[in-house]
Amino acid sequence: MHMMNEQIQERAGFDPERRMNKGDLVIVTAMTLIYLFIALINLGSFEAPQTGWEPDRLNESFVVDFGREVEIDKTFLFGGLGHAWGCFGSLEIMAWDGTRFVPYTFINMKSVFRWHYTTDSVRTRKLLVRNQYLRDDTGKDSNKYFKAEYRELAFFSGSEIIRDFTVTGVQSDHDVNLLFDEQELVPDRPSFLNGTYFDEVYFPRTALEQIENRSILYENTHPPLGKTLLGLGIRVFGMNPFGWRIMGTLFGALMLPLMYLLGKRMFKDSFWAFFCTYLLMFDFMHFTQTRLATIDSYTAFFVMGTYLFMLDYYDSRAFEKGFFKSLAPLLLSGIFLGLGGATKWVALYGAFGLAVLFFMSRIREYIEYNRLLDLSVEQKKINADSRKKLRRAYVLKYFVLTCLFCILFFIIIPAAIYTLSFIPIQNHNDNMGLIEEVIASVKSMYEYHKGVTEPHPYSSHWYEWPLMLRPIYYHSGPLLPEGMGSSIASFGNPMVWWTGFIAFWGVLWLLLTRRIKKNMGPGEAKNAWFPVIGYLSLYLPWAIAPRKLTFIYHYFSCVPFLILMTAVVLRYIEGIKLIKRRSIYILMSLVLILFILYYPVLSGLEVPRWYLNILRILPRWDW
């Protein structure tokens, strides 16, 4: 076997270009820090109300006495977590008309850790505030929710908060003054900077419930690891917008080094590693999705990690490395697969692609090894009996035994990681053991996702995602000056996604017509299959997935593979002299220009409404 290794290195040579050098480290570190700086701008406030009033019964009330007539034109309410699963309710507010309290307005608290408001106006000396059932326009939740936590209540006259008042007539066993003890935290207007938006109403809340070892876990339709990771930011920075978003943003930044490593390992060329990282750095969805406190940042990160280590195995010779050393990337790939699956099931879609790549590598390596054995026999370095023994030993060690280890790496270890991820939430159900809870959770999650069929205005079908026909609209800023807008939407950079989708078909054509192999060699052709298989493995399952309500962000994990395929096609057509490097720089410039132009709708930046409107270049692009 040692003789065979020497022959391989003589024929193919050791390839140092696949390794990271000091220049690579400088480039990827600089890109990551630059991206992180941009991503942290206006990520969210470091402060939010922490105390509040939590009535136990309906119709608990108090009076706010201003001691004078005041003009109230806005009322803000910040919702807290409370101690009920459905910690929602309404505050009914009645105004004194000189002789009695008459109906004035109400504020619904339908979600937590955000500012709710009403712009109803009244002129009065005092208000009666009373907790009620959550008002429901459809009647679906009528007389259902009322055990809410109201953390801060504020009254505005114009742009000024009304501060001078007393609280009297308290009909509650809990301290009503906690509703007014953090008035300095009341914002000028509700926004993504000072509260939750979109699915942040689920994940930060559940992360806090895990941290506080509560028996109630609100978000239970995904495994716990994503919420555990999100909770690390809350532990360090507190329960505020920056705290619940920072971990996803950091994982988004760390996706850039992973992208660089993928590009470097696949192309053995620092420029193409830089190119791939650059496209991810300025992709719209990568920026928006990783600044949102959901679990998609972690899922995409782990998917990239599991494929990075599979690429290391796929693009190397196991018998050259030695048996146990060759298993290391498979072990790491399996660990990342387990971490991804323990975050969100969609990461497990990639397992099929991993299996395809593994068996492709075994078949190719076996063919190559046999050719080298035949060559050695022809050169009389070994005899026919030795060839037979070496072939049998290879099959036993590098196929049979490796497959057995893969059962450990890709089934047993991921299952163990998935199970262990439930330890932080084990206390919430004393009636079940760990294994029993995991099994019950899997059944519950499957039934939930299978049953999600209710329409959503920003849902989209899987076949619409590559063309970005329907972005998902996350946030619209309220109470803005006339003619101004603040929006956040998630979709791809057209120069990344549309170019990448064209590249997907281009790579398929180049591979099926063997043009890459003919013009750039078998090694390039072999590696060109890698992003195609990864992409299809993560994308095609959505065509048959039991969940029918889907959104464009489900395509997020496919984006790195789109970028790799773009690089494959551009590298090919540059190699055959159809384009020059200047054309690639033009593409990269357009990617950056579009990122700058669309930055307001990715970040929630306040801009004139007309500017947001002109960015809507397709009919169903709404924000």
Q: Taking residues 120-125, what's their average pLDDT?
A: 96
Nearest to 180 by CA among 64, 324, 286: 64
DSSP label at residue 176: G
Alpha carbon distance 281, 273 (integer Å):
12
Q: What is the pLDDT of residues 314-331, one digit of tens each?
A: 999 999 999 999 999 999
Segment holding 109, helix H or strand E: strand 101-109
Alpha carbon distance 377, 427 (integer Å):
65
Average pLDDT, the chain: 93
For residue 10, the model assigns a pLDDT of 39
For residue 1, the model assigns a pLDDT of 44
For residue 454, the model assigns a pLDDT of 81
Q: Taking residues 91-112, what's their average pLDDT?
A: 94
**DSSP states of 501-570 as a string?**
HHHHHHHHHHHHTTHHHHHH-HHHHHHHHHHHHHHHHHHGGGGT-S-----GGGGGGGHHHHHHHHHHHH
Alpha carbon distance 130, 146 (integer Å):
11
Is the predicted pLDDT of residue 8 greater than 80, yes or no?
no
Q: What tokens were used for 471? A: 């972005």
Largest Cα–Cα separation, the chain: 113
Q: Quick count: other Cβ atoms within 10 Å of Cβ 605? A: 17
pLDDT category at 72 given cuts 50, 70, 90 is: very high
For residue 216, the model assigns a pLDDT of 85
Angle between helices 434-450 and 413-420 (to 10 degrees): 90
HSE toward the beta carbon, residue 511, CA cutoff 13 A: 20
In single-letter form, the type of residue at position 419 comes to: T
Q: Taking residues 113-132, what's their average pLDDT?
A: 96
Alpha carbon distance 226, 389 (integer Å):
49
For residue 103, the model assigns a pLDDT of 95
Beta bridge partners of 106: 92
For residue 428, the model assigns a pLDDT of 66
Is the predicted pLDDT of residue 18 greater than 80, yes or no?
no
Alpha carbon distance 249, 288 (integer Å):
9
Nearest to 303 by CA among 546, 508, 531, 565: 531
For residue 143, the model assigns a pLDDT of 81
Give the CA angle between residues 303, 305, 308 to the nearest 5°: 110
Contacts of 437 (CB under 8 A, 6+ apart): 422, 426, 429
Alpha carbon distance 336, 342 (integer Å):
10
Alpha carbon distance 260, 276 (integer Å):
7
Q: Taking residues 156-172, what's their average pLDDT?
A: 95
For residue 240, the model assigns a pLDDT of 97
Is the predicted pLDDT of residue 11 greater than 70, yes or no?
no
For residue 429, the model assigns a pLDDT of 66
User: Residues of the chain with pLDDT > 90: what percent?
Assistant: 83
Q: Taking residues 601-622, what's their average pLDDT?
A: 96
| CATH number among 2.40.128, 2.30.30, 2.60.120, 3.30.450, domain 61-191 | 2.60.120
pLDDT category at 452 given cuts 50, 70, 90 is: confident
Nearest to 202 by CA among 184, 186, 221: 221
Q: What is the pLDDT of residues 44-60, one digit of tens each?
A: 999 999 999 999 999 99
DSSP label at residue 53: B
Q: What is the pLDDT of residues 394-437, one digit of tens each?
A: 999 999 999 999 999 999 999 999 999 999 888 766 678 889 88
Q: Taking residues 364-369, what's their average pLDDT?
A: 92
For residue 7, the model assigns a pLDDT of 44
Is the predicted pLDDT of residue 9 greater than 50, yes or no?
no
**DSSP states of 70-100 as a string?**
EEE-EEEEEE---SSTT--EEEEEEEE-SSS
Asked if residues 82 and 148 have their Cβ atoms less than 8 Å apart, the reply is yes
Contacts of 12 (CB under 8 A, 6+ apart): none
Alpha carbon distance 310, 463 (integer Å):
27
Nearest to 197 by CA among 476, 459, 460, 452: 476
Nearest to 453 by CA among 542, 541, 550: 550
Is the predicted pLDDT of residue 138 greater than 80, yes or no?
no
Is the predicted pLDDT of residue 336 greater than 70, yes or no?
yes
Q: What tokens were used for 309? A: 């280590």
For residue 431, the model assigns a pLDDT of 76
Q: Taking residues 583-605, what's their average pLDDT?
A: 97
Is the predicted pLDDT of residue 2 greater than 60, yes or no?
no
Is the predicted pLDDT of residue 4 greater than 70, yes or no?
no
Q: What is the pLDDT of residues 466-503, one digit of tens each?
A: 999 999 999 999 999 999 999 999 999 999 999 999 99
Q: What tokens were used for 208? A: 């806090």
| Long-range residue pairs from 33-42, CB within 8 A, at least 24 positions apart, any chain | 34/281, 35/253, 35/256, 35/281, 36/249, 36/250, 36/253, 38/287, 39/249, 39/252, 39/253, 39/287, 39/290, 39/291, 40/249, 41/603, 42/193, 42/603, 42/604, 42/605
Output the 3-class SS for 153-175.
EEEEECCEECCCCEEEEEECCCC
For residue 75, the model assigns a pLDDT of 97
Q: Please name the residue that has the structure tokens 């057995």.
A: 404
DSSP label at residue 135: P
Domain boundaries, the chain: 2-42+236-614, 61-191
Q: Beta 607-608 vs 484-485: how paired, if at all?
A: antiparallel
Asked if residues 280 and 560 have their Cβ atoms less than 8 Å apart, the reply is yes
Give the CA angle between residues 256, 261, 266 to the nearest 5°: 130
pLDDT category at 252 given cuts 50, 70, 90 is: very high
For residue 593, the model assigns a pLDDT of 98
Contacts of 155 (CB under 8 A, 6+ apart): 64, 70, 72, 74, 75, 127, 161, 162, 165
Q: What is the pLDDT of residues 530-552, one digit of tens each?
A: 999 999 999 999 999 888 899 99
Considering just the CA atoms, what is the radius of gyration of the chain in Å? Answer: 29
For residue 6, the model assigns a pLDDT of 43
